[in-house]
Amino acid sequence: MEPQENSLEDTPLQINGERLWQRLMTMATHGATPRGGCNRQALTDVDRRGRDLFVDWCREAGYDTRVDAIGNIFARRAGMEALPPVLTGSHLDTQPTGGKFDGVYGVLAGLEVLNTLDEQGIATRHPLEVAVWTNEEGCRFPSAMLGSAVWGGSMALADALALEDREGHSVGDELVRIGYAGQEEASARPLKAAFELHIEQGPVLEAEQLDIGIVTGVQHMSRHLVTFSGEATHAGPTPMSMRRDPVRALSALLPELYKLVEEHGVDTRVTVGFLDARPGAGNTVPHTVELTVDVRHPLAAVYSDLRAAVTDLAAGAATGAGVTAEVACLWEAPGVSFDESCVASVRTATQRLGLRARGIVSGAGHDACNLAGVAPTGMIFIPCEGGVSHNEAEAITPAQATAGANVLLHAMLEQAERP
């Protein structure tokens, strides 16, 4: 923990916390769920309405607003000189049972930074931009952090546009349908710096009673589709010993996956997030079982061992059940160390604001991971209640939202070289 002090004679610039909170609550009405969360999946009609609302706010403030070929949105506040911008942003799409703050907080806090500087008449040498990245969640289309991956060059635009949801709708077709297939090239351009402000999505900051996480990096992670293929037979006449039952392979695999966690230590993360047995009839042995296995670890060598183990364990489980196994990597995000200058700007901002802070490694992937390969990048975390996220119960306080946005404001100002 890094204790900070603040001089009462030099009160730092502050954002309008009430306006930020009101905008968060207004955005949450688009895709609102009965239990208080949000279902605003990428490129749906409710995602379009959320995007439209953000664009309206930006244009009302006079910011140049553009959309690129993968649907990323950029709103620019002009600088005093023709220099690379300092960028911030996150995403507006949510999980099917998501909360009000994951992603959207970083977008609207960025907009609030620009509005605050306008109201205070503060010019910056470098332009400032707020970005909305397309399909960060990866729950509707099977590639998380999609828009930033295309922009950062780790995924081809054509491949991204061809991705389909489970109903066969492609990213390209849905962008056209909702009116966000932009004309600007979806590729990286020079940035002075990039920041992403986000809820922690974990319990550490709250448990340690801290205000801010100074994010130094992100752990290695990937998601794999495991497919067990057997034979569909009648549940009654077919003896257990004569079945080629993919569910039996599943039952053998799951305990072995959880043993990996015990063997590789407390930093290991293994998650089965999706299960599907087909044909899905109560009196039929399934012919196919599919599941996703998400693997994460901060150390590259351990992460590599975990990835290999998933394939080996699936093969062993399949052999024991008399079925076949296929393992395909759906998505991978290598670990990231953030730029020292950006990390220092966040740390300096927390000190200036008198906030309690510590360095932290992100356990979740973020669009900042894709930006870090092409621009100096940093991240800021605020606590969330109970560490709960990807859940309708996700919660932060107005004071926490304001504190994080103030850190973002001062970190961006330092990078943008306020005269």
The rounded distance, in Å, linking the Cα atoms of 112 and 107 is 9
Q: pLDDT tens track of the chain, all 419 residues? A: 443 433 334 689 999 999 999 999 999 999 999 999 999 999 999 999 999 999 999 999 999 999 999 999 999 999 999 999 999 999 999 999 999 999 999 999 999 999 999 999 999 999 999 999 999 999 999 899 999 999 999 999 999 999 999 999 999 999 999 999 999 999 999 999 999 999 999 999 999 999 999 999 999 989 999 999 999 999 999 999 999 999 999 999 999 999 999 999 988 999 999 999 999 999 999 999 999 999 999 899 999 999 999 999 999 999 999 999 999 999 888 889 999 999 999 999 999 999 999 999 998 889 999 999 999 999 999 999 999 999 999 999 999 999 999 999 999 999 998 65
The rounded distance, in Å, linking the Cα atoms of 222 and 293 is 8
Cβ within 8 Å of residue 241, ≥6 positions away: none
CATH code: domain 220-333 is 3.30.70.360
- What pLDDT does 419 receive? 55
- What pLDDT does 357 receive? 98
Both tokens of residue 127? 């332009």
- What pLDDT does 9 receive? 41
Q: Which CATH class is domain 17-219+335-416?
A: alpha beta
β-pairing, 220-229 vs 193-199, is unpaired
- What pLDDT does 332 receive? 86
- What pLDDT does 7 receive? 35
Q: Which alpha helices (H) appear in 231-299, and where do they start and end?
A: 246-264
CA dihedral 119, 123, 382, 89 (to 10 degrees): 100
User: Residues 234, 255: contact at Cβ < 8 Å?
Assistant: no
What residue spans define the domains of the chain? 17-219+335-416, 220-333
- What pLDDT does 334 receive? 83
- What pLDDT does 3 receive? 39
The rounded distance, in Å, linking the Cα atoms of 291 and 293 is 7
Return the residue matching tokens 């407390």.
266
Which residue, 200, 77, 180, 79, is CA-closest to 133?
180
Both tokens of residue 203? 């319990």
- What pLDDT does 418 receive? 63
Return the residue matching tokens 């699936």.
314
